[in-house]
Amino acid sequence: MDTLKLKERILGLVPDAEFQENKPFPTFIIPSALLHNLAAGLAGDADLAFDFLFCLSGVDMVSYFEIVYHLESTTHRHQMVLKVRVSDREQGFADSVCDIWRTAEFHEREIYDLLGIRFTNHPDLRRIFLEEGWNGHPLRKDYVDDINIVER
Amino acid sequence: MKEVVNLPVKKIEEEEYHINMGPQHPSTHGVLRLVVSLQGEIVKSLKPHCGYIHRGIEKMCEKDTYPQIIHLTDRMDYLSAHINNHAVCLLVEKALDVDVPERVIYIRTIVDELNRIASHQLWWCSFGMDMGGLTCFFYGLRDREKILDIFEESFGSRLLHSYYTPGGLMMDIHPNFQKGVKNFIHYFRKKIKDYDDILTGNIIMQERTKGIGVLSREDAISYGVTGPSGRASGFSCDVRKRHPYALYDKVDFREILGTEGDTFTRYMMRMDEMRESMKIIEQLIDNIPAGDYSAKMKAVIKLPAGEYYQRVEAARGELGVYVVSDGSKTPYRMKFRSPNFSNLSVLDHISRGVKIADLVAIGGSLDYVIPDIDR
C-alpha cells in the first residue's frame, strides 16, 4: 500500500489524526485515547497487517512527550509511524500495546524507566535498567545528575 | 497411647522455588541476571534483570557530535562493531545526501561480512562451550584470530575499530588486505567442515537441541526477534534483502531461512550464514575499485532539523538508529533499536517447561551480547 492510500485509510479510521509531511516513513499523530483501538485495527486488518513493531521510542520535547511506534507489515512490506503525545510530565500515561505486539513489553518498560511515562494495562511495569528507587528519569531534558553528568 | 498425626509433607519437587542465574554466570556471557522459577529442574518462568552495564549511551549521544557517536556505537554490540558504525554513517550520509566513493562501499560491505563471520565464530565456540564441548572454544578462537589479524593490520585494532566515519573510512586498507582476506576464505572453507564434524553432527548435541525452545513464526514477529534467531522460525527479516543498503542488492546471496524454530535450527542458521558471507566476500574482493577512501565532509557535521531512521543487519539481528535532530551538531534524541534487547524479551516465552540445562542451550542459541541490551 503506498503512502497516499495509507493516508486515506488511516484518516478514514481516525479523522482526528494528523499527517506529518517530510518524514522518512508515513507519519501520523493520533490522540492517545484512540491508540489501543487503532493499533489493534492496524495489526488485525488484512490489507494493513502491521504485525511487526520494529522500534518503539520516547522523545522528550520539553512541553510534551512523544511516543513513536515504527511499524512494518511482514506480508505487504509497507511501513508507517504512529505518534502519540503525552503532555502531563508528572502523571502522564498512555495505553500499553503489549497485548498486540509482545515486543512492546520491554520497550515500554524502557520508556517508563528512562522517561517516566506510565503505561496502563502493562503486565509488569518496573524499571528495566536502573534500580528501583532511582531518582528521576535520565532521558528527560531537565534531568540533573551532579555526579555522573559533567556540564562543559 | 499417643495418636500419630499425619502432617502433610510437601515433596521438594512440588514446591516452586527461585534461583538466580547470574549476574556472574558463564552461560550469560556478560552480566545478566535471570531469576528462574523452578519446580524440580523444570523452568516455570523466568525474569531477566538487565542494566548491570547500562552506560546511558543514548543520553551521552545527546552531548556528542556525529563523528564522536561512532565510537560509542562500537561499545554496544562489540562483536559487530563495524556494522554498528555503518548504521550511523549511513544515517548521516543519507541525511546530508553525501556521494560516497564506490571504493568505500565495496570495502564496507566486505568488512561487514568479515565482521559477521568473526562474530558467528565466537558464537560457535561459546555455544559449544555452553553445551560442554571445550574443544569448540579453541577451534573457534583459532579461526577468529585470522580475521582479527586482518583487522589489526588494516585498521589498527582488534575489537573496537571505529573504522567507518561519516562520508568514508578512517584510512585506506592495507596493501595486504585483499591477499589476507582471500587466504582466510581459502583457509576457512576447509576449516568450517571441522565445525560440522565436531559439533553439528554430534548426536549428544543434536539430542540436546532438537525440539528445545521452539519459537513459532507469529511469536518471532510479535516479539520482534530478528537476525538468525528470527529467521530460524521462518520470519524473513534480513535487512540486507528487505531494505538493501551498501552493495547487498548487487551481490548474489541467499537469505537463510528455517522452519522449525528450535535451538538446533537457530544453530544451523548461523553456520549457513558464515558460508553465505564468504560467498559475498568472494564476489567483491577482486573488484574493489580504485579511488578515494573518503568523501569530502565539512569539519562540523550538522543534520538538518527533522527525523531520520536507518536500519542495518547486525550479526544478531536488525539494528535501527532513530535520530531526532534540531539542526545542531548534536542529535536532539538518539535511539538505538538493538537486536539483543528484543531477542531477550522472548527468552521467558520459549524456555517455559524446559529443564534448566536446556535453558543454557537456548540462551546460547539466542546469542546475547549484554552491552547491546543495556546500552
> From the first residue on, what is the mean pLDDT of each consecutive set of 10 residues in chain B (375 residues)?
64 75 79 88 88 88 89 89 91 89 91 92 89 86 90 88 88 89 91 88 87 89 90 89 88 88 90 91 89 85 89 90 90 91 90 88 88 88
Quote the pLDDT of residue B321.
92
Quote the pLDDT of residue B111.
92
Quote the pLDDT of residue A21.
79
Cβ atoms of residues A81 and B200 within 8 Å:
no
Could B59 and A139 be called an inter-chain contact, meaning their C-beta atoms sit closer than 8 Å?
yes
- Is the per-residue pLDDT at A100 higher than 80? yes
Cβ atoms of residues B207 and B299 within 8 Å:
no
Could B342 and A106 be called an inter-chain contact, meaning their C-beta atoms sit closer than 8 Å?
yes
Task: Look up the ipTM and state it.
Answer: 0.89
- pLDDT tens by residue, A36-92: 888 888 888 888 888 899 899 999 988 889 999 999 998 888 888 989 988 888 888
- pLDDT tens by residue, A129-151: 888 888 888 888 888 888 877 77
Task: Report DSSP letters for A38-60, one per residue.
Answer: HHHHHHH-TTT---EEEEEEEEE
Quote the pLDDT of residue B11.
60
Quote the pLDDT of residue B5.
67
Distances (CA, A) of A28 to A11, A17, A139, B50, B253: 9, 6, 24, 33, 36
Quote the pLDDT of residue B110.
92
Q: Which helix or strand (DSSP H or E) is residue B31 part of? A: strand B30-31
Q: For the whole model, what pTM was predicted?
A: 0.87
Could A23 and B306 be called an inter-chain contact, meaning their C-beta atoms sit closer than 8 Å?
yes
Residue B282 distance to chain A (closest CA, Å): 30
Q: From CA A42, how far away is CA A78, in angstroms rounded? A: 12
Domains parsed from chain B with CATH numbers: 56-374 (1.10.645.10)
Quote the pLDDT of residue B12.
57
Could A70 and B56 be called an inter-chain contact, meaning their C-beta atoms sit closer than 8 Å?
no
Quote the pLDDT of residue B7.
64
More confident residue, A152 or A25: A25
Contact list, B306 vs chain A (CB under 8 Å)? 22-23
Nearest to B71, CA basis, from B145, B149, B159: B159
Quote the pLDDT of residue B15.
77
Contact list, A130 vs chain B (CB under 8 Å)? 51, 54
Contact list, B324 vs chain A (CB under 8 Å)? 59
Angle at B87 between CA A42 and CA B100, to 5 degrees: 120
Quote the pLDDT of residue B9.
60
Of A22, A59, A131, the CB nearest to B306: A22
Residue A12 distance to chain B (closest CA, Å): 25
Residue A13 distance to chain B (closest CA, Å): 23
Q: Which helix or strand (DSSP H or E) is residue B356 part of? A: helix B356-366
Quote the pLDDT of residue B260.
86
Domains parsed from chain A with CATH numbers: 3-88 (3.30.460.80)
